[in-house]
Chains A and B, each alone.
Chain A
Amino acid sequence: MKDKAQVSEKFAIYDAELTTRPKIVIGMGLRGFFSLLKLNKKGVWNLALIFLIYLWSIVFFVLMAGEGNVYPCEEMSSEFKYCQPIAYYGDMGLGGVRLFLVTLAAIASGGLIANDMNDKSLHLYLSRPISRLDYLIARFIPIFLLLIFVTVVPNMITFMTQWSSSGLEFDWIQNHKWLMFDIIVQGLFYSASYSIIGLTFSTLINREYRAAGAFFLFVYGTNIIVELFHLFVNDDRVLLLSIAHLLDIVSFEIYGAEYYFTSAGVLKGIELANLEIFGALTLIIGGCGLFVNWMISQMEENK
Chain B
Amino acid sequence: MIEAKNVIKKYGSVTALDDFSVEIPKGKIGILGPNGAGKSTFVKIALGLITANSGKVTVLGENLDKHSVDIRRKIGYMPEHDCIPNHMSGVEFLIEMGLVSGMDTSSATQRTHEILGHLQMGEEKYRKIEEYSGGMRQKIKLAQGLIHGPDIIFLDEPTSGLDPKARQEMLDTINGLTEISNTNVLLSTHILQDVEMVCDHVIIINNGKLQMKENVKELMKRQSDFIQVRVGGDIDGFVDILKSKEITVTTDGRILRVPYVSDQTFQQIIDAAVDNKCQLYEMERSKVTMDNIYLEVVE
- Partner-B contacts on A (CB < 8 A): 1-2, 4, 6-8, 10-21, 23-24, 27-28, 31, 115-116, 119-131, 134, 300-301, 303
- What residues on B are CB-neighbors of A10 within 8 Å? 114
CB of B175 within 8 A of chain A?
A: yes
A124–B73 CB distance below 8 A: no
A123–B70 CB distance below 8 A: no
- What residues on A are CB-neighbors of B97 within 8 Å? 124, 128
A1-B176, A2-B120, A11-B180 known; A126-B84 Cβ under 8 A: no
- What residues on B are CB-neighbors of A19 within 8 Å? 102-104
A15 and B104 CA atoms in complex are apart in Å by 13
- What residues on A are CB-neighbors of B81 within 8 Å? 120, 123, 303
User: What's the minimum C-beta distance from B290 to chain A, rounded to whole angstroms?
Assistant: 22
A1-B172, A2-B173, A119-B86 known; A14-B111 Cβ under 8 A: yes
A8-B114, A300-B50 known; A129-B73 Cβ under 8 A: yes
- What residues on A are CB-neighbors of B213 within 8 Å? none
A15-B149, A16-B149 known; A300-B49 Cβ under 8 A: yes
- What residues on B are CB-neighbors of A11 within 8 Å? 111, 114-115, 118, 180-181
Known: A12-B180, A115-B85. 9 other contacts (CB 8 A): A11-B180, A12-B181, A16-B73, A121-B85, A123-B83, A124-B144, A127-B75, A130-B100, A134-B69
CB of B123 within 8 A of chain A?
A: no
A125 and B101 CA atoms in complex are apart in Å by 9
A16-B149, A119-B83, A119-B85 known; A129-B69 Cβ under 8 A: yes
Q: Considering the complex, give the chain A residue whose CB is closest to the CB of B11.
A: A301
A1-B175, A6-B117, A301-B11 known; A128-B72 Cβ under 8 A: yes
B99–A16 CB distance below 8 A: no
- What residues on B are CB-neighbors of A126 within 8 Å? 49
A31 and B99 CA atoms in complex are apart in Å by 10
State which residues 91-129 of B face A: CB under 8 Å.
Answer: 96-97, 99-104, 107, 111, 114-115, 117-118, 120
CB of B252 within 8 A of chain A?
A: no
A16-B107, A128-B101, A129-B102 known; A2-B118 Cβ under 8 A: yes
- What residues on A are CB-neighbors of B77 within 8 Å? 124, 127
User: What's the minimum C-beta distance from A98 to chain B, rounded to whole angstroms?
Assistant: 31
- What residues on B are CB-neighbors of A23 within 8 Å? 102
A2 and B115 CA atoms in complex are apart in Å by 12
User: What's the minimum C-beta distance from B173 to chain A, rounded to whole angstroms?
Assistant: 7
A4-B180, A119-B84, A121-B84 known; A18-B111 Cβ under 8 A: no
28 residue pairs A–B, Cβ–Cβ below 8 Å: A1-B172, A7-B114, A8-B114, A10-B114, A11-B111, A11-B180, A11-B181, A12-B181, A15-B149, A18-B101, A18-B103, A19-B102, A21-B69, A23-B102, A24-B99, A24-B101, A27-B99, A31-B99, A123-B83, A124-B83, A127-B47, A127-B77, A128-B102, A129-B71, A129-B101, A134-B69, A301-B44, A303-B79
A123 and B72 CA atoms in complex are apart in Å by 13
B104–A6 CB distance below 8 A: no
Q: Considering the complex, give the chain B residue whose CB is closest to the CB of A21.
A: B69
A116 and B97 CA atoms in complex are apart in Å by 13
- What residues on A are CB-neighbors of B100 within 8 Å? 24, 28, 125, 128, 130
- What residues on A are CB-neighbors of B47 within 8 Å? 127
A20 and B103 CA atoms in complex are apart in Å by 10
- What residues on B are CB-neighbors of A120 within 8 Å? 79, 81-83
A27 and B95 CA atoms in complex are apart in Å by 13
B102–A16 CB distance below 8 A: yes
Q: Which of A116, A126, A300 has most B Cβ within 10 Å? A: A126
